[in-house]
Amino acid sequence: MKAAYLRVLLFAGAALAAGASGCAHKAPVEPPKPPLVPAVFQPLQEALQKSYLELFQLAPTLEFSNTQIQNMRNYLEQARKYCVGQYKKKSDQYSADLKRLEGNLKQVSATASDTQRHDLHCQIQNTRALQSQTEVLADHAIPVAYENKEAKLDLIQQWPGDLKQIKQQIADGSYLKRQWGDVKDIGFREIASGQKDDIKTGEDAIKQMKQAGLMPKELDNKAITDYVEGVAQKVAKHSDLQIPLHVTVLNSKEINAFALPGGFLFVERGLLDAADDESELAGVIGHEIGHVVARHGHKLMQKATIESVVFQAAQVAAVLLTGGAAGIGTYYALQYGFYGLGLALNLNLLGVSREYELQADQLGIQYAWNTGYDPSGFIRFFDKMATQEGYVNGASWFRDHPPFYQRMLDAEREIMFLPKKENLVVQSSAFEQMKKELKPVTAKAEAEEKGRPSLLAPEQGCPAPQKIEYKPGEPIETICSLPGTVVTTKVASR
Ligand SMILES: [Zn+2]
């Protein structure tokens, strides 16, 4: 048991500790040269900045050869290494600066004036901030942004063939025999028997999470919670859920929703902030309901007890919240929204595995569609999280994820297999009203967070720490000054 939670602790720390300092990085010194002539490279770069949905339309008309695509793949791989290497190098430099500054402080400590000491503290604080940010970029933001690009390259190459196959399956009717293809019987089919046996598990988990102080505050705005409740219950009614759904909206900035076994859905404020329309929200809720329906948590929990799982989560949260063994880098990641409850919670409890993510995607798409929503809202939201946000946070559905292309392919295929429906809902005035209500709530939460004494800035009265800007929607190349950057599709920011 001890070993089990230690592993979780290590995982939390290792994600950021890896490559933090010390070792020499074998990163390419020069940025890679574009592997293709501009007439090919440019349009391919532009294509990779399009959304998945646009690319599904566009890919069959694109005429890039396999060699060109392979060259581009190699290029992206090198570019990623170069870009990560640059930030690792910067991070190492900041580490060295930090050592030097700490050395200075030690030397002058006995004799320094208050002003000198304050100045040094401020410098150390600022350097720590910069060092952590470079680590987060090198370990999370850059790799994910490239993973997403590579998935889009896969799409350009493979989708035309996959599309042919899908059309064939539709033509010969074999698509009806796919797992859970009986979508006209949603609500009357059994995905996994014994849903109600999970209720106690969920209740126990909630009770213990609350006791351990793990549950973020609930969002205190009836108009918003009523709205989310309404959408979630509507989707639940059109799903295979055979037990009541309990909906809680948490006032936390994570872009995440999760469901505990037994029908306990938690939607975090950050998700509402990030969603642009009701079909996106419905898609995510459908996915979470899918986990509950298929009893993924139960299947993965098999041996673990709730006690041990919550204990683990509390340990991880303690590390995250105190800076602890995982270091200040982890704390910074928290600030960026990478980590949070979504990271602390055990994936088994949430029913998250690569295989189960695909299952929950399929069910969620079916449920959103069956409720009357545009099922591609899920793809749009996913895309935004992986591309426009630039960062992928600790959201449970990005933690142990299937390869991006496979996930998008499966999602699009399922949407194509669904019977056509008229007037699918994308947006609603109630959603827009909710967003209006949400604005001041988010502003207040952000202001409170700023006012909170921070571990990151123990020294008061310093200039604000420097920030490495990486704007959502910005192509990843810009932060590494790689050539061939074209900004084409600036998606409206939220
Ligand atoms: Zn999931």
Dist. CA 33–CA 433, nearest whole Å: 49
State the distance from the centre of ligand 1 to the C-alpha of 348, rounded, in angstroms: 11
* 259 neighbors 271 (Cβ within 8 angstroms): no
What confidence score (pLDDT) does residue 474 get?
Answer: 65
What confidence score (pLDDT) does residue 125 get?
Answer: 85
State the distance from the centre of ligand 1 to the C-alpha of 287, rounded, in angstroms: 6
State the distance from the centre of ligand 1 to the C-alpha of 70, rounded, in angstroms: 31
State the distance from the centre of ligand 1 to the C-alpha of 170, rounded, in angstroms: 27
* 83 neighbors 142 (Cβ within 8 angstroms): yes
Contacts of 288 (CB under 8 A, 6+ apart): 257, 258, 259, 265, 360, 364
Q: What percent of the chain has pLDDT over 90?
A: 51
Please compute Rg for the chain using Cα positions.
24
Rounded to two decimals, the pTM is 0.83
What confidence score (pLDDT) does residue 1 get?
Answer: 32
Dist. CA 243–CA 232, nearest whole Å: 13
State the distance from the centre of ligand 1 to the C-alpha of 290, rounded, in angstroms: 8
Q: What is the pLDDT of residues 239-248, one digit of tens each?
A: 999 999 999 9
Structure tokens at 460: 């008061």
State the distance from the centre of ligand 1 to the C-alpha of 396, rounded, in angstroms: 6
**Top-confidence residue, 410 or 208:** 410
pLDDT surpassing 70 at residue 376: yes
CA distances from 358 to 143, 195, 414 (A): 22, 20, 11
* 389 neighbors 472 (Cβ within 8 angstroms): yes
Q: What angle do CA 424, 375, 400 make, to 5 degrees?
A: 165
State the distance from the centre of ligand 1 to the C-alpha of 439, rounded, in angstroms: 27
State the distance from the centre of ligand 1 to the C-alpha of 289, rounded, in angstroms: 9
State the distance from the centre of ligand 1 to the C-alpha of 155, rounded, in angstroms: 22
**Taking the CB of residue 468, how many other CB atoms lie within 10 A of it?**
15
State the distance from the centre of ligand 1 to the C-alpha of 362, rounded, in angstroms: 11
State the distance from the centre of ligand 1 to the C-alpha of 291, rounded, in angstroms: 7
State the distance from the centre of ligand 1 to the C-alpha of 173, rounded, in angstroms: 29
Q: What is the pLDDT of residues 222-236, one digit of tens each?
A: 999 999 999 999 999
State the distance from the centre of ligand 1 to the C-alpha of 1, rounded, in angstroms: 26
What confidence score (pLDDT) does residue 311 get?
Answer: 73
What confidence score (pLDDT) does residue 460 get?
Answer: 77
Q: How is 86-102 classified by DSSP, letter by letter?
A: HHHHHHHHHHHHHHHHH
Q: What is the pLDDT of residues 262-271, one digit of tens each?
A: 999 999 998 9
The overall average pLDDT reported for the chain is: 82
Among the ranges 199-208, 232-241, 477-486, which has the highest mean pLDDT value? Answer: 232-241
State the pairing for strand pair 257-260/264-268: antiparallel
State the distance from the centre of ligand 1 to the C-alpha of 165, rounded, in angstroms: 27
State the distance from the centre of ligand 1 to the C-alpha of 12, rounded, in angstroms: 19
State the distance from the centre of ligand 1 to the C-alpha of 333, rounded, in angstroms: 21
Q: What is the pLDDT of residues 91-123, one digit of tens each?
A: 999 999 999 999 999 998 889 899 999 999 999
pLDDT surpassing 90 at residue 28: no
State the distance from the centre of ligand 1 to the C-alpha of 72, rounded, in angstroms: 31
